[in-house]
Chains A and B, each alone.
Chain A
Amino acid sequence: MRIVIIASRIAHRKWLRKYGTAIGFLGVVLLFWALKPTTFMTLPNWLNITQQVSILCVVAFTMTAVMVVGDFDLSVGTMASLVGITAASLMKSGQPIPVAISVALLVGVLGGVVNGLLVAYAKLPPFIATLGTLTAFGGLALYISGGNTIYGRAIPQAFGQFGRNGIPLGSIDGRAVNLPNLTILSATVFAAVWFTLEKTVFGRRLYAIGSNAEASRLVGIRVRMLKLLAFAISGLGAAIAGLMLTSRLASANPTQGDGLMLNAIAAVFLGMTMSEQGEPHVLGTLLGVLILGVLANGLTQLQINTYIQQILTGSIIITAVLTGSLSRRRS
């Protein structure tokens, strides 16, 4: 009898550990629904939320790849700014949109490769290496733009409209409802990263490196090359996010992406609370981003003081991660 009770307790704890964050998220959603019954749980508001988090999603999904191998990338925010400025400058100088996008994506991948070389081959700690590139990319964005915001006619209408438009779904109360292009784009990136990390040999090797890099090397996994590729993925994600941001705001500011980095890391950590071993998975990251996005949306609708919002969001991140790590330690 006693064994059965203990076994059931352990199963209960395991279940709670795995789904605790998701349950907490559900609780927050229900709370907002109850307090704002006419505006929160509506299709337009949820489509809005998906659009609002789409840019952070792309950065966080691709950052997950770097965190899977046990590193992290602090430079994604300034890289997004740099890519936005690069694309906007090219468009301003009359280059066609596809050229501007291609060069901008290339800049992102190259930045990621630089990070990868510094961490995997030069053996710099990722904190130092990406802190250095964070500063350098930010400086480069300011240098290229002369500190100015590029906006107005410099951004072609087709490019600026993409981030605001979507596929028409019909209308509610006389207002058009669209599935935002940015939501579709971030869903595509989600599918690609999920497939790469969870369903390919490459992905499984990344997890192996994250779990034990030395053992992985001994069994013949090319640890350095795979780490470099993980950073390249992160750089590419930051570039896509930078382009999305420039399109959504129809402007490029040399510091506009800088805030993405901390939120992306927070989202991955929130997502890690959902896994048994505490390793990052892109599905968990999605939940992490949604938690941040729903909190920002709901708390704004409840007219909660903007500084109190920050305190609440920070406390919720700490509570979730602490609950996850404590329950793992106990078991």
Chain B
Amino acid sequence: MVRGVRFLLAVGLVLSLLFAGSATAQDDEKVVAVLTPYLASATTQIMVEQFEAYGNTKGWKVNVIDTAGDLAALDSRIQDVVTQNVDAIVISANPELVPAGIESANGAGIPVFGMDAGSTLGLELDVTSNNYQMAAATASYIVDRLEGVGRVVMFVHPPYAPVQKRGVIAQSIFDNTPDIEIVDQVFVAVPGPIENARNAMENLLTANPEPGSINAVWAAWDEPAIGALQAIQAAGRENEGIVIVGIDAIGPAREAIAEGSNFEATIAQDFVGIAQTLADSIEQHLGGAVLPQKTLYVPATLVNQSNAQ
């Protein structure tokens, strides 16, 4: 038994040393910590990967930390990287929800930057897409396609600020169109948005069996839109002309749009542009430059069948 414990301790020690040795930055290397609770989300992943790759070309050691949806853990990990004295911190979450961590970074003089953060509290800069604009574009797309008449299902997720902004705008546009009726606003649980949206859509289709009783699906991001498409196809109701729109233009969404399915449009945020603009701005800041503004919007483009591929 004693031998076994010693063996385990020894293995643990060696493993830890190996990991530590491989991860520790050289003295002159700039260390940038990227923290998010949303790395499981496809879009956050693209931004973080792009940022990491672009940061590495600048000679930085980019340390990515995911807290799997846990904001209290995010707050703690921000404090840890402050203790570690990194050169800059990037967060992909609303800084207003992790005030203690942001305060400790500000107190230690470590600059904090937002990657699609949705607020600039305590940040030097937030680089993001304009969520209000994107939601307006997709909601207007539905109103135009339905010629102002029809019943719409909305898929929303208010706890995440950028997505909450989209929902508010889309609802305003639908409410402002007298003959558009919102059938239901479905709260999509995360993780598992595709599965959860699919289940909810199946139930709504069951509850509304008449062809034409649901005319459109507005999803605050692409994953619930894909779930809704799967449900419509599984129910054999893809020929009723139900229009689906999403936001983010992730790979499967582009494929579905290119195939000419019910999924007709989405918006491509320029994630590469966000990541690169952010990395360039951080480089300028670390070089002593003063950043001219606190929020930088990177333009987004509507994607439909003509430009989905």
Docked-complex contact B76 and A52, CB < 8 angstroms: yes
Interface residues on B, range: 35 or more
The minimal Cβ–Cβ distance linking A61 to chain B, given in whole angstroms, is 17
Docked-complex contact B99 and A160, CB < 8 angstroms: yes
Interface presence of A277 (CB below 8 A): no
Interface of A is mostly: helix
Q: Interface size of A by Cβ–Cβ distance < 8 Å?
A: 56
Docked-complex contact A249 and B75, CB < 8 angstroms: yes
How far is it, in angstroms, between the C-alpha of A52 and the C-alpha of B39 when the chains are bound?
A: 22
Interface presence of A188 (CB below 8 A): no
Interface of B is mostly: helix
Which residue of chain B is the closest to A149 with respect to CB atoms?
B159
Docked-complex contact B97 and A251, CB < 8 angstroms: yes
CB contacts (< 8 Å) of B98 on chain A: these are 249
Docked-complex contact A27 and B96, CB < 8 angstroms: no
Interface presence of B12 (CB below 8 A): yes
Docked-complex contact B83 and A20, CB < 8 angstroms: no
Cβ 8 A contact of B158, one of A16, A146, A175, A300: A146
Docked-complex contact B159 and A148, CB < 8 angstroms: yes
Interface presence of B166 (CB below 8 A): no
Docked-complex contact B187 and A147, CB < 8 angstroms: yes
CB contacts (< 8 Å) of A245 on chain B: these are 72
Interface presence of B233 (CB below 8 A): no
The minimal Cβ–Cβ distance linking B196 to chain A, given in whole angstroms, is 13
Binds A, one of B1-9, B126-134, B209-217: B1-9
Docked-complex contact B69 and A255, CB < 8 angstroms: yes
Cβ 8 A contact of B96, one of A12, A152, A302: A152
Interface presence of A95 (CB below 8 A): no
Cβ 8 A contact of A259, one of B15, B19, B25, B73: B73
Docked-complex contact B100 and A164, CB < 8 angstroms: yes
Docked-complex contact B69 and A259, CB < 8 angstroms: yes
How far is it, in angstroms, between the C-alpha of A119 and the C-alpha of B67 when the chains are bound?
A: 33
Docked-complex contact A248 and B25, CB < 8 angstroms: no
How far is it, in angstroms, between the C-alpha of A42 and the C-alpha of B84 when the chains are bound?
A: 11
Given A48-B80, A302-B23; A249-B72 close (CB under 8 Å): yes
How far is it, in angstroms, between the C-alpha of A256 and the C-alpha of B84 when the chains are bound?
A: 26
The minimal Cβ–Cβ distance linking B114 to chain A, given in whole angstroms, is 16
Interface presence of A199 (CB below 8 A): no
A-B pairs with beta carbons under 8 A, tally: 142
Cβ 8 A contact of A297, one of B80, B85, B108: B80
Which residue of chain A is the closest to B160 with respect to CB atoms?
A149
Given A149-B158, A296-B76, A297-B76; A16-B5 close (CB under 8 Å): yes
The A-contacting residues of B in range 86-142, CB under 8 angstroms, are 94, 96-100, 103, 107-108
Interface presence of A31 (CB below 8 A): yes
Given A163-B100, A249-B98, A253-B159; A306-B83 close (CB under 8 Å): no
Interface presence of A327 (CB below 8 A): yes
Interface presence of B20 (CB below 8 A): yes
CB contacts (< 8 Å) of A16 on chain B: these are 1-2, 5
Docked-complex contact A147 and B61, CB < 8 angstroms: no
Among B13, B73, B84, B96, chain A packs the most CB atoms within 10 A around the CB of: B84
How far is it, in angstroms, between the C-alpha of A147 and the C-alpha of B157 when the chains are bound?
A: 7
The minimal Cβ–Cβ distance linking A33 to chain B, given in whole angstroms, is 12
How far is it, in angstroms, between the C-alpha of A187 and the C-alpha of B300 when the chains are bound?
A: 50
Interface presence of A8 (CB below 8 A): no
The A-contacting residues of B in range 20-41, CB under 8 angstroms, are 20, 23-25, 31, 39
Interface presence of B161 (CB below 8 A): yes
The minimal Cβ–Cβ distance linking A292 to chain B, given in whole angstroms, is 11
Among B4, B23, B75, B83, chain A packs the most CB atoms within 10 A around the CB of: B83
CB contacts (< 8 Å) of A27 on chain B: these are 9, 12-13
How far is it, in angstroms, between the C-alpha of A55 and the C-alpha of B61 when the chains are bound?
A: 32
Which residue of chain A is the closest to B84 with respect to CB atoms?
A301
CB contacts (< 8 Å) of B180 on chain A: these are none
Given A44-B83, A142-B187; A306-B65 close (CB under 8 Å): yes
Can you name 6 A-B pairs with beta carbons within 8 Å?
Answer: A151-B96, A245-B72, A251-B96, A255-B159, A256-B70, A302-B16
Query: Chain A interface (Cβ within 8 Å of chain B)?
Result: 12-13, 16, 20, 24, 27, 31, 35-36, 39, 42, 44-45, 48, 52, 55, 142, 146-149, 151-152, 160, 163-164, 175, 245, 248-251, 253-256, 258-259, 296-297, 300-308, 312, 316, 319, 323, 326-327, 330
